[in-house]
Structure 1
């Protein structure tokens, strides 16, 4: 009585617009990848490079801060990855180079050709 009959819509243009339709559909995903690269991945890679450069430049006499917050002076490099750090007079600890969070002050370069004053 009150129900109207349903009619099918007429057929539209056939699909298959080609490569431009695929490109337009993938554009938001590509845009997100570019934004993530510029805002997250690239700055993180720069920080990692700077951290690695800082760790490789540590030498005897530098004042360093560990990831645990301990401040000390590097007394010697035990081997490639280990450092000996003096945290108090006569208290020396061995640390892994990767656990250094910051280098506070760099040691003065040693010049053996300087005449004594």
Structure 2
């Protein structure tokens, strides 16, 4: 009787195991982890790197008299450009130097009134 019980337990446990390679891959605990990292890459990392690439292209295309917004919220017109610094005119005769990386976007809030060359405030 005891032998029959042990034999029956062994036969049921061995038939419950996955038999093929495909079944073994699906039951491997590393597969869900890899899938989660793959989904996270496509949902978070890839869009962020694309956004950073677009920002670098925008910074490279800046030119004088572009109206921009800084990350601090200042809106001004570019008066001077260098490799690392940008001088913004935020009001007549008020200029602020900021790092080029701190330019967030080209402004879409409307244009500042442009001063004429001989005009003084």
- What SS does structure 2 have at the residue aligned with 1:85? strand
> What is the aligned-residue RMSD (CA, Å)?
2.5
Which residue number in structure 2 is paired with residue 99 of structure 1? 102
- Stretches of 4+ aligned residues off by more than 6 angstroms: 15-18
> Given the two structures, how large is their TM-score scaled by the length of structure 1?
0.70
Mapped to 2, the partners of 1:19 and 1:82 lie a distance apart of: 59
CA distance in 2 between counterparts of 1:19 and 1:29 reads 19
| TM, length-normalised to structure 2 | 0.68
Aligned length: 98
Deviation at 1:27, TM superposition (A): 2.1
Show structure 1 runs of 5+ residues with no match: 1-6, 106-117
> Which runs of no fewer than 5 residues in structure 2 stay unpaired?
109-121
Q: Which has the higher helix share?
A: 2
Shift of 1:68: 1.2
